[in-house]
Amino acid sequence: MAFSFRKLSKRFFIMVNAFFALAVLLACLQPWLNPETFWFMGFLGIAFPYLLTLLLAFVVFWMFAKPPLILISLITLGIAWKQIDALFNLHKQKFSYTKPAEHLRILSWNVKAFQGFVTASKEDKHKNAKDIFALIEKLDPDIVCFQEYGQYDSPSVKRNYTKFMKQMGFSHYVLSKDYNRVTIGYSSGLAIFSKTPFLSTKKIPFTSSPESVLYADVVFNNDTLRVFTTHLQSYKFSPNDYKDIEKIRNSEDSIYEASRNIFSKMKTAFRNRAGQADIIRPLLDSCPYPELITCDMNDVPTSYSYWQLRGNRKDAFLEKGFGIGRSFMTLAPSLRIDYIMADDRFTVHQFETIKKKYSDHLPLVTDVSLRKSAP
């Protein structure tokens, strides 16, 4: 009887290990399986770090129980290395606030319409905006890309933030104004601010939402660069949705209805983000200038959207960042969903995710320079 039990339990653990290994391998297909059709792959992308943790746990388990079976996990981890490598980085270095004149400093930040990490009163929002601008002034970037940049458009209104940016030397700017509330003179969307001149700007709208991708051709050190910024489809979770997520975590009686609502919103977001990434990729590939893209992708580094936009570009975090690069401060501790990517003509000198909770997203800052071709 004891022998049969050991045999059955061994088979059980092998099957469980194989199941998680298969899930990891399926997740590795995300760069090639478009979520507009294979929408379920998006859930595997989110689960990927946790699936890896389970595989590593099996490595430890089999080390004591049956060492040859470690190969199930080790082979899977080897096949999945490309995806694993996009999750974390170990290039620890201290970020320097000073930079050489030939380096271009870019700041990217979803500022949540300057509302703060949590919803605040009007006065608290204004104080939070002042904290954001103080940090920008300290970082001294050459270019700032905002997502969810919301303001009242009249310069005479306190919450017209463009005038504060202009006071700090960002005299060249373009706003996408994807959302407009004409009756109160309020708009929100993307923004690019620069201390150096623009040659041209353009907004390309998405078909699946009112949002867009925005770019500016910037002159820097006698070179022309194109800087893109965008905000891909979010899950559009409402305060009630976050309460539903807590119900799911706490296994409350209403878990079925809560799960169905969350599942539906996530499925829609996976599909829409894939379509939006498919719009952006040709814009990057056909760009006549060296290009950089900053974005709140609302998606993880194992996703279709990430690999579609990254292509052969450098992920600034993977070049010079450290750790898992968490950039979104709610839902899960492993969410890196904000990115700065540069084409391979750039050298990334340093990168930092700034740990300041003035928004539900953390700001990203990087210094880059354009490699000069041989004469």
pLDDT tens-place string over residues 61-111: 999 888 999 999 999 999 999 999 999 888 778 889 999 999 999 999 999
- DSSP result, 91-149: ---PPPS---TTSEEEEEEE-GGGT-SS---HHHHHHHHHHHHHHHHHH--SEEEEEEE
| CATH assignment of the domain containing 208 | 3.60.10.10
Cα radius of gyration rounded to whole Å, the chain: 23
Where among 39, 56, 85 does a domain terminate?
Answer: 85
Q: Are residues 244 and 121 in the same domain?
A: yes
Residue 282: how many CB atoms within 10 A of its CB? 9
pLDDT tens-place string over residues 175-202: 999 999 877 889 999 999 999 999 999 9
Q: What percent of the chain has pLDDT over 70?
A: 89
Residue 55, pLDDT > 90, answer yes
Q: Are residues 308 and 182 in the same domain?
A: yes
Q: Which residues contact 112 (CB under 8 A, 6 or more apart)?
A: 148, 359, 360, 361
Q: Are residues 11 and 120 in the same domain?
A: no
Region 293-316 average pLDDT:
96
Residue 374, pLDDT > 50, answer no
> Which residue matches tokens 């992308």?
45
Q: Are residues 113 and 13 in the same domain?
A: no
pLDDT tens-place string over residues 146-182: 999 999 888 777 788 999 999 999 999 999 999 998 7
Q: What pTM did the predictor assign? A: 0.90
Q: Domain of 160?
A: 104-370
Under a CB-based contact definition with an 8 Å cutoff, are residues 329 and 362 in contact? Answer: yes
Is residue 155 a part of any domain in this protein?
Answer: yes
Where among 31, 52, 85 does a domain terminate?
Answer: 85
Under a CB-based contact definition with an 8 Å cutoff, are residues 111 and 159 in contact? Answer: no
Q: Are residues 148 and 196 in the same domain?
A: yes
Mean pLDDT of all residues belonging to the chain:
88
Q: Are residues 18 and 132 in the same domain?
A: no
CA distance 199 to 351: 27
Work out how many domains the chain is built from and give that number: 2
Where among 85, 117, 132 does a domain terminate?
Answer: 85
Could you tell me the two tokens for 14?
A: 């092998």
